[in-house]
Amino acid sequence: MSEERRQYSRISFASPAQLLLGKRAFEVQVLDLSLKGALLHLPDAADLAMGEAADLDLPLDEMGNRIRMQTTVAHLEGRQAGLVCQIIDIDSVTHLRRLVELNLGNADLLQRELAVLLAG
């Protein structure tokens, strides 16, 4: 997707996470995040399909703070997968909003992105 069409700013966020697909679980590397999804680097054993439902569990710290979202696989390219968030709990969206806010450095841009998210 071109940057002109993108409605949500991506932030680089290299961190390990777990991707749950039914009874299968994979250790993945988060490459970037947005208010609407994530880009992941997948292990060789991961066999995802377009449109497949997957839960992303991204630990943030030792105190148990984490971002959890129910997603759908939106695109696959090599060992990378783009996920679109379908459902996210209030604690996770609060953590994600703060991460985006800190990385964007622009409260107005964040507010516009939140308005688009809530309208959609």
Q: What is the pLDDT of residues 26-56, one digit of tens each?
A: 999 999 998 889 999 999 988 899 999 999 9
Domain hosting 87: range is 11-119
Largest CA distance in the chain: 41
Nearest C-alpha neighbor of 69 from the set 95, 99, 42, 98: 95
Residue 99, domain CATH: 2.40.10.220
pTM for this model (two decimals): 0.80
Residue 39 lies in a domain: yes
Tell whether 4 is covered by a domain.
Answer: no
If pLDDT is split at 50, 70 and 90, which confidence band does 59 have? Answer: very high
In a domain, 46, yes or no: yes
Residue-wise pLDDT for 1-11, tens only, equals 444 445 566 77
Asked whether residue 66 is assigned to any structural domain, the reply reads yes
Q: Pairing state of beta strands 66-77 and 11-21?
A: unpaired
Is residue 24 in a domain? yes
User: Is 5 a member of any domain?
Assistant: no
Residue listed under structure tokens 């105190």? 63
